[in-house]
């Protein structure tokens, strides 16, 4: 068994997705509040706080500069946490995966269903954030509508990366490491709150080479500003390939962990 075996999947994986959706819908309101409140808080803090001292970043107002970054961060945050802490709890504490693989579903389908659910959480997050930003008039339409389908792909990428961590950590506490060694640096250094061009070369190249959020921000900023970035296509291909890679890898890692 290698780390890159192509998983055999059937449509049954959507039943795992449905299970998670059903749980989500039970606590619907509680689930909506963070997606709603978080970007607003950032928007006020940075928009009024920093925005008053910085007038222009990369040729646009500071608040218009950070709006796409907040959307991108929301997309990353929702799927990454769903497939790290969320999946870990379902796997280890609730033994949900164990219960499902006693039915005709395979472990590959369970994990794929979890990943697709993670991606769906990103879409839900994007759907909540877009109207808020639209009301403030800081994102442009119709190009920003494309963020909705794109959030599924970007969400899938972070879901898959998160699931790889879930597969390799020895305990749930260890999931704090990827949070502050991976998520926090990305939050700060992916062209989110400061233009990448202000960064030293090595940070800029590092961000472009290995920080997935950089590419997500490039695409979403192109969409909210309705200004195509020359790197857009490269970023899209980068995300597509990385998603494929981590999707397959995470399923194989989980299979190794759970099927013994």
Shortest Å distance, C-beta 229 to another protein: 41
5 binds another protein (CB under 8 A): no
Nearer to another protein, 148 or 259 (CB): 259
- Asked if residue 172 binds another protein (CB under 8 A), the reply is no
Compute the distance between CA of residue 252 and CA of residue 22 in angstroms, rounded to an integer. Answer: 26
Nearer to another protein, 91 or 154 (CB): 91
Q: Which two tokens stand for residue 219?
A: 């695409």
Q: Which of 14, 68, 5, 16 is nearest to 42 (CA)?
A: 68
What span, in angstroms and rounded, lies between the C-alpha atoms of 28 and 25? 5
* Cβ distance to another protein smaller for residue 77 or 108: 108
Beta carbons of 146 and 225 less than 8 angstroms apart:
no
**Using rule CB under 8 A, residue 105 touches another protein:** yes
Q: Which x/- pattern, by CB under 8 A, does the window 20-39 give for another protein?
A: --xx--x-------------
Closest approach of another protein to the CB of residue 102, in Å: 4
CA distances in angstroms from 87 to 34, 114, 184, listed in the order given: 19, 7, 20
Site for another protein in 61-100 (CB under 8 A): 94-96, 98-100
- Could you give the CA distance from residue 121 to residue 151 in angstroms, rounded to a whole number? 9
- Give the Cα separation of 116 and 83 in Å (integer): 10
Shortest Å, Cβ 108 to another protein? 11
Is residue 19 at the binding interface for another protein, with CB under 8 A as the rule?
yes
Query: Using the rule CB under 8 A, is 9 a contact of another protein?
Result: no
* Helix (H/G/I), strand (E/B), else coil: 227: coil
Residues lying near another protein in the complex (CB under 8 A) are found at: 12, 15, 18-19, 22-23, 26, 94-96, 98-106, 259-260
């Amino acid at each position: 068994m290698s780390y890159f075996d192509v998983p055999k999947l059937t449509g049954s994986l959507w039943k795992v997705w449905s299970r998670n959706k059903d749980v989500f819908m039970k606590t619907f309101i509680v689930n909506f509040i963070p997606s709603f409140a978080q970007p607003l808080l950032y928007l006020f803090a940075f928009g009024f706080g920093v925005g008053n001292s910085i007038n222009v970043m990369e040729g646009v107002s500071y608040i218009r500069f950070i709006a796409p970054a907040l959307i991108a961060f929301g997309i990353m945050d929702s799927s990454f946490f769903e497939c790290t802490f969320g999946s870990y709890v379902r796997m280890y504490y609730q033994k949900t995966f164990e219960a499902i693989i006693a039915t005709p579903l395979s472990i590959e389908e369970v994990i794929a269903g979890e990943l697709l659910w993670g991606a769906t959480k990103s879409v839900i997050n994007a759907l909540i954030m877009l109207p808020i930003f639209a009301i403030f008039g800081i994102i442009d339409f119709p190009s920003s509508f494309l963020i909705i389908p794109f959030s599924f792909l970007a969400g899938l990428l972070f879901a898959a990366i998160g699931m790889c961590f879930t597969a390799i950590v020895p305990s749930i506490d260890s999931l704090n490491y990827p949070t502050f060694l991976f998520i926090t640096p990305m939050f700060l250094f992916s062209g989110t709150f400061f233009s990448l061009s202000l960064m030293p070369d090595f940070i800029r190249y590092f961000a472009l080479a290995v920080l997935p959020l950089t590419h997500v921000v490039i695409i979403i900023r192109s969409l909210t500003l309705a200004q195509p970035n020359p790197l857009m296509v490269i970023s899209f291909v980068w995300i597509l390939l990385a998603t494929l890679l981590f999707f397959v890898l995470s399923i194989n890692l989980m299979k190794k962990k759970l099927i013994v």
